[in-house]
Structure 1
Amino acid sequence: MDQAIGIDILRHRRLLRLGSGILLCAGFLGAAWGINRAVRPGVDAADIVVAEVRRGTVDNTINAAGVVIPVHEEVVSSPGMSRVARVLAKPGQQVKQGELLLELDDREIRLALESLKEQLAQQENKVATLGIEMEQKLKQTASAIELLEIDLQASRALRERNRKLRESGLVSGQDLLTSELNVQRNEVQLRQQRALIEDTRRATAGSIAAAKLQQAILQKQIVRQESLLEQTRVRAPFSGMLTSLVEEAGASVAAGQLVARVSELNNYRVEATLSDFHARQLEVGQPVRVEQNGEVLAGRVHTILPEIQNGSIKLLVDLEQPHNPMLRNKMRVDVNVVTGHKADVLVIDSGTAFNGKGRQPAFAVRDGMAHRTLLELGASDGKVVEVVSGARPGERFIVSGTGAFKDLDNIRISQ
């Protein structure tokens, strides 16, 4: 005979069925969650950098590569073709103004100088000789004039005597004419001799002037050769650092070749190089930020060099702290030229996820997910970038590289 199943047993069976259903649902959900994690791509939170949109200020800057150079630098060149005779200093050492750095072979310059001095002495002798010769000619001419004056007086006396005798008929007309012609001849000779004095003086003065002009030319050449001779002893033009020097004794140097360079100590500026694409945005006086190893120095554009080489333009930047101990000659630095300033705008930290201005994809981070969206970016100073549209204050975006998932719409962020 069948017996009725107890209430406790029925209750127990219902609980077993309910528990089995719950476990089955939990298993199903767990499997779905596992499959979802396996299929949906994700990124580790430690592998990305996330920044928050906020209000702030941003400078529009142009990036350039810079190198630290001395404000004052002078080079010393070889005065002519020569060779290094003796080296007395080394690059990198501090030198004082006038200190002897090296000596060049000066034999050819000395020979040329001696030749010029000999030519000058010849011209001096020529001037003296011309003066003596002129004095002798003038003396001879003066003596000839004295004799002609005596002859003229005698011929005039004879002419007067013949005139009186002609009136008495004691001399012929031919004799009177002869005496008159003698007077005229003596007068002509006297005028010629007197003119000869002036001609002699003018001719000699011209020769002396030519000789003195040659003297002056030779003296200038001598001064130049003496200057070249002095330049063979290469000295520091001012006190500073010897940054370059021809160190090899016996080395040949060409005329005009740099043999030494001296730079001013602890007084620097920056030479920046950037693409000529930005040339129209550059102006003298623009603020500049110079960065090196996290330290920032302020400056301003001093000179925009007009020449463009290989698509690049150069600037000279004056620093507010040109004596900063961090600066070293030829040190490479990052230069940011400020072309504009914006205040109270939306900004976000700059990163490799952003590429210049304009609309571009970005990943907004919400609830453990990164969602692809579009941002319009504006000015940037290398540290923050302006967000023109596409975001609100407080929203967070991935600012590190997104190349691994740039084509996806959603990315799971694992903690």
Structure 2
Amino acid sequence: MAIRDTSAQDHVISRQAAPAPWRRWIWPGVGAAVVLAGIAWAVSGWSAGSRSFQASRVRIAEVQRGDLVRDISADGRVIAANSPVLYAISAGTVTLKVVAGDVVKQDQELAVIDSPELRSKLAQEQATLAGLEAEASRAALDAVLARATASKTTDQAGLVRTAAERDLARYQRGFDGGAVPEVDLAKARDELKKAEIELQHAQKDSALESQGADLDARNKRLLADRQRAVVAEVQRQVDALTLRAPFDGQVGQVQATQHTNVAANAPILGVVDLSKFEIEIKVPESFARDLAIGMPAQLTSGSGEPFPGAISAVSPEVVNGEVNARIRFSDKQPAGLRQNQRMSARVVMDTRRNVLKVERGPFVEQSGGRYAYVMDGNAAVRRPVQLGAASLGEIEVLSGLQPGDRVVVSGSDQFADAERVTIH
């Protein structure tokens, strides 16, 4: 019997060749290449700029060519163009005839102020006027009497002169006939001269007395006229105790209480003219210098319907960096407007055709708008620029930029005026 061996269980195993020595350096070489690439990227980033910033922290806009519309958009409130407040001309007790919100007509009584002091003053001034008018009348009568007396004296002097002339003529005939001595003739001549002198003095005295009487009458009349003006002024003040509506409108805020004593010049109530409204807007100080009265505007009501308007007033005062301006409706105004109602306003100041422009951002205020950061690949380079007119959303570029340039319009304040930074 044959004994089985293990030959049937044996298999030939082929021995693989040993790997080449250079293959063991493949993965270390790949790792080294990655490290070198990182170092190269870091060196490239360092050479591109001394500082690096994330792109999410800045806003970049492209320079374009087109029309630049300089306009102002603002939310305004409706105010009455004519809304005077009526004041008490004198202290007294007020009696209100209307309440807030009442519709009134022109010259309608709104309130009455009872001022015994003012009414008493009127009575006193009227009595003084009556006395001065009586004195003026008496002075005028005295002037007439003075002129009559002066005329009488002059007439008498004229009669004496006429008589002296007749006596001289009679003595002259008698002397010529030899019946009258020469001494009587000379005496008659002296009497005529005396009469003529008296007549001349009477005429001068009459003129002077007439002038004096006229001056006295004129002075009395002027005093009466002055007192008459005083009475007219006090009468006006008494009439002003009755407050009347200056126009057709509506009673606004009532600032006095019924049957209470008010001080002189105290506000009583306001009247609103419902036929004329204006829109008050607040304009940034940087745009206020470009606003001018008469500049066209567009007003939009809550329904979206536009209404043409024009700038009617610009305040000369700056408050909290803003200037108040008023817009008046040019044609018609929306129906049912009320005080303090909101409306949108847009004022077109200028339109510049075919200019270089870029989005407006904080970079305009930085460095006085003389520099801008322009993208060069992934780097932002500081470049001198010259900017022109500005609108709310865009600004004109005069020099330093070309169409297609990409400008950092926001976030450049963190660059600390570096000449070149990296944006990644």
* TM-score > 0.5, shorter chain as reference: yes
1:67 paired with 2:77, answer yes
CA RMSD of aligned residues (A): 5.3
The correspondence of residues 363-378 of structure 1 with structure 2, limited to 5 A, is: none
Q: Distance in 1 between matches of 2:136 and 2:396?
A: 89
Q: Distance in 2 between matches of 1:99 and 1:72?
A: 17
Contact 1:297 1:321 in 2 (8 A): no
The correspondence of residues 249-268 of structure 1 with structure 2, limited to 5 A, is: 249-254=260-265, 258-265=267-274, 267-268=276-277
The answer for the alignment partner of 1:215 in structure 2 is 224
1:338 paired with 2:354, answer no
Larger deviation: 168-177 or 303-312? 168-177
Q: Distance in 1 between matches of 2:300 and 2:159?
A: 103
1:302 paired with 2:311, answer yes
1:228–1:171 CA distance, 2 compared to 1 (3 A): same
Following superposition, the deviation at residue 169 of structure 1 comes to 8.0
1:196–1:373 CA distance, 2 compared to 1 (3 A): same
The correspondence of residues 347-386 of structure 1 with structure 2, limited to 5 A, is: none
1:342–1:82 CA distance, 2 compared to 1 (3 A): same
Contact 1:84 1:252 in 2 (8 A): no
Contact 1:290 1:298 in 2 (8 A): yes
Larger deviation: 286-295 or 87-96? 286-295
Structure 2: give runs of 5+ residues left out of the alignment.
1-5, 12-53, 57-64, 382-386, 405-410, 412-420
Following superposition, the deviation at residue 4 of structure 1 comes to 8.5
The answer for the alignment partner of 2:27 in structure 1 is none
1:98 paired with 2:107, answer yes
> What SS does the aligned partner of 1:197 have?
helix
Q: Distance in 2 between matches of 1:344 and 1:143?
A: 100
Following superposition, the deviation at residue 261 of structure 1 comes to 2.6
| Percent identical | 17
Q: Distance in 2 between matches of 1:245 and 1:120?
A: 38
1:235 paired with 2:241, answer no
1:176–1:237 CA distance, 2 compared to 1 (3 A): same
Following superposition, the deviation at residue 381 of structure 1 comes to 7.8
Q: Distance in 1 between matches of 2:390 and 2:150?
A: 97
Q: Distance in 2 between matches of 1:205 and 1:163?
A: 45
1:385–1:141 CA distance, 2 compared to 1 (3 A): closer
> What SS does the aligned partner of 1:243 have?
strand
1:202 paired with 2:211, answer yes
1:4–1:317 CA distance, 2 compared to 1 (3 A): farther
Contact 2:154 2:206 in 1 (8 A): no
The answer for the alignment partner of 1:323 in structure 2 is 333
Residue identity opposite 1:302 in structure 2: I
Structure 1: give runs of 5+ residues left out of the alignment.
6-40, 44-54, 362-370, 393-400, 402-406, 411-415
1:165–1:301 CA distance, 2 compared to 1 (3 A): closer
The TM-score with structure 1 as length reference comes to 0.61
The answer for the alignment partner of 1:133 in structure 2 is 142
Contact 1:299 1:317 in 2 (8 A): no
Following superposition, the deviation at residue 234 of structure 1 comes to 0.4
The TM-score with structure 2 as length reference comes to 0.60
The answer for the alignment partner of 1:245 in structure 2 is 254
Following superposition, the deviation at residue 378 of structure 1 comes to 11
